[in-house]
């Protein structure tokens, strides 16, 4: 029990550091649907961030092997078709690699509530623990910012591309896990530097 309390207290203290002193992992997944219990992770990608640098050489992209890959609307939404799944990775191998990479880093996603549910379901099925230092949602940050500034949130105004546009970031091809992971990393840095600054502020 005492060791658990010490780890909890250490985590609290670490999270209080200025945001620029943390390490991050920006991640995106492509799924066959919105229900982690019944739909599949088809692709997953991530890239590590050490402000102000995005470590592109750390980038990873995996297509996930399933006994029966159920693409559903993925050819339309993600552009993934069956021939893309010739070279695939085992889900549990990817979750193990992610678990190691994620340790002591803040996980960044655009709409993290959905992605985190899929990740937890996948990790549980592999008996692997994912333990990021904290979670940061670029979509949630932007939604709260717009509400505080009394902006009307219109349909489509919180997509990754729409949020990036407000910070003058270039447009990427959407719905590819790796480009979306990089796009999410860039958006987080833009949000943090603009609203938290480069001093002792925290964004978590």
Please report the domains of the chain, with CATH numbers, ordered by start residue. Answer: 18-195 (3.30.420.10)
**Of 70, 48, 192, which is closest to residue 132 (Cα–Cα)?**
48
Mean pLDDT lowest among 75-84, 153-162, 177-186:
75-84
Mean pLDDT lowest among 3-7, 105-109, 121-125, 160-164:
3-7
Confidence tier at 155 by pLDDT (50, 70, 90): confident
Please give the backbone phi and psi of residue 59, each rounded to the nearest 5 degrees, phi first: -60, 140
Question: What would the pLDDT profile of 82-141 be if each residue is shown by its tens digit?
Answer: 656 567 899 999 999 999 999 989 999 999 999 999 999 999 999 999 999 999 999 999
Paired strand residues for 89: 64
Query: To the nearest 5 percent, what fractions of the chain are helix, strand and coil?
Result: 45, 20, 35
State both tokens at 68: 């029966």
pTM (2 d.p.): 0.86
Percent of the chain with pLDDT over 70: 80
């Amino acid at each position: 029990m005492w060791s658990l309390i010490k780890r909890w207290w250490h985590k609290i203290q670490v999270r209080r550091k200025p945001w620029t002193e943390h390490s991050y992992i920006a991640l995106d997944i492509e799924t066959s649907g919105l229900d982690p219990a019944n739909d599949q992770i088809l692709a997953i990608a991530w890239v590590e961030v050490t402000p102000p640098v995005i470590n592109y050489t750390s980038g990873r992209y995996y297509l996930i092997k399933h006994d029966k890959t159920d693409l559903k609307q993925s050819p339309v939404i993600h552009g993934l078709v069956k021939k893309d799944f010739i070279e695939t990775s085992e889900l549990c191998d990817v979750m193990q690699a992610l678990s190691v990479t994620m340790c002591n880093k803040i996980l960044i996603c655009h709409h993290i509530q959905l992605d985190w549910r899929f990740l937890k379901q996948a990790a549980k099925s592999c008996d692997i623990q994912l333990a990021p230092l904290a979670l940061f949602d670029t979509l949630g940050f932007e939604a709260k910012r717009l509400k505080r500034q009394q902006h009307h949130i219109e349909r489509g105004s919180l997509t990754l591309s729409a949020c990036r546009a407000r910070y003058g970031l270039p447009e990427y091809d959407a719905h590819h896990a790796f480009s979306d992971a990089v796009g999410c990393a860039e958006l987080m840095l833009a949000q943090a530097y603009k609203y938290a600054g480069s001093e002792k502020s925290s964004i978590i």
